[in-house]
Amino acid sequence: MTKKEIVRVISEELGLTQQETKEVVQRTFDSIVETLVREGRIELRNFGVFEVKPRAARKARNPKTGQQVDVPEKYVVTFKPGKVMEQRVRQLSSDNLPDTWVMPLDHVPPPDSAERPSETDDPNRPPNSPPNSPSGSWQ
């Protein structure tokens, strides 16, 4: 669902114009961001908690070249769902999920499967890139 779809649904439910609803939704999002920047945490009862946390510096690899790169420390936003959201999500079953969420278990071959491409299947693929990606880039 996009912000535009959220605005449409809320405006229909409340009988407001989409422009009025869009402004309220945008100001709500802006307020959440400003609170995170200023205070580092925002708790929305029955929804969840957003929190700014540091992520330590680390070493990583460029997937195209295989070259090791240093990733500096940075701050990330984490989200912990509230009890109400957690309970509702746990009640989901594969019967009421959209088709795009359900992946058949036989879709991914086991690690030792003969279907798995070998390292030499594509001589143009850069080292350490995913076997099935075009030109070796991550998608």
The residue extents of the domains of the chain are 1-39, 40-94
Distances (CA, A) of 71 to 28, 63, 75, 78: 32, 14, 12, 19
Q: Is the pLDDT of residue 25 over 90?
A: yes
Q: How far is 75 from 55, CA to CA, in rounded Å? A: 6
Q: Is the pLDDT of residue 137 over 50?
A: no
Q: What predicted TM-score, i.e. pTM, was given to this entire model?
A: 0.60
Looking at the domain that runs over 40-94, which CATH code has it been given? 4.10.520.10
Each residue's pLDDT tens digit, 26-46:
999 999 999 999 999 999 998
Backbone angles phi, psi at 126, to 5 degrees: -65, 155
Q: Is the pLDDT of residue 113 over 50?
A: no
